[in-house]
Amino acid sequence: MADNDYMALLDRAKEVLPETIENHERFELPELDILQEGKTTVFRNFIDVTDKLRRGPQHLLQFLLKELGTPGNIEGRRVVFKAKISSLTINEKIQTYTETYVICSECGLPDTKIVKEDRTLILECEACGARRSINVRKASKSDSQNIIRVGDIIEILISDVGKKGDGMGKCMDYIVVVPGTARGNTVRVKITNLSGKTAFGLVTAEPATR
């Protein structure tokens, strides 16, 4: 009789169990689809990434534009950056965004939402209930002064000439390539493109902005 009671209880317990048990697999983003088109970089599956992160496209876009130091805009499901940027660099920035704005620091899951309390942004986990403030690194004044951006106008001394005959100079941590210049010239240059720590520019008569 006791065995029958036990089996009856077991059957009732099975009836109230959910048909499927949620399986939290390791969170992975879609592989980035990055394409270079002339002097621009196209992030072709941008919206797929924001859908996976469960964050607004504009929020991620503004983060990337600030971190990459380049203008850009959303076109359909893609983003077009107005500079040549490697897929590795974009991937690193998205990983930083994910760790800052998405992943719960307690359970490691992406099931979170951003809430604002007074002037503080809070990351609230819907899976475990953990809450933490979002600590966004702010660039110091010295950081911002040591970054060249597309559109900047700088004055540099052409100290060398490359294999293709283009003049080259140094500005902060950047090598600046300027066609049509000779060693020893001091010129004002408008930055037209960036690739890592190499900047490309053209001679201009506009006053320096840095």
Q: What is the domain extent for residue 99?
A: 34-133
State whether 101 and 126 are in the same domain. yes
- Asked if the structure places residue 21 within a domain, the reply is no
State whether 149 and 115 are in the same domain. no
Q: Which domain CATH number covers 84?
A: 3.30.70.3150
Q: Between the CA of residue 112 and those of 8, 50, 62, 82, 137, what are the distances in Å?
A: 40, 14, 20, 32, 20
| Mean pLDDT over each residue of the chain, to the nearest integer | 84
State whether 43 and 91 are in the same domain. yes
Q: Final residue of a domain: which of 112, 133, 154?
A: 133
State whether 187 and 117 are in the same domain. no
pTM: 0.57
Local confidence band at 20 (pLDDT 50, 70, 90 cut-offs): very low
State whether 89 and 169 are in the same domain. no
Local confidence band at 23 (pLDDT 50, 70, 90 cut-offs): very low
State whether 49 and 107 are in the same domain. yes
pLDDT in tens, 157-188: 999 888 889 999 988 878 899 999 999 999 99
Say yes or no to pLDDT of 17 above 70: no
State whether 151 and 80 are in the same domain. no
Of 58-62, 101-105, 117-121, 192-196, the one with minimum mean pLDDT is 192-196
State whether 56 and 91 are in the same domain. yes
Confidence at residue 163, expressed as pLDDT on a 0 to 100 scale: 81
State whether 73 and 129 are in the same domain. yes
Structural domains of the chain, count: 2
Say yes or no to pLDDT of 142 above 70: no
Say yes or no to pLDDT of 19 above 70: no
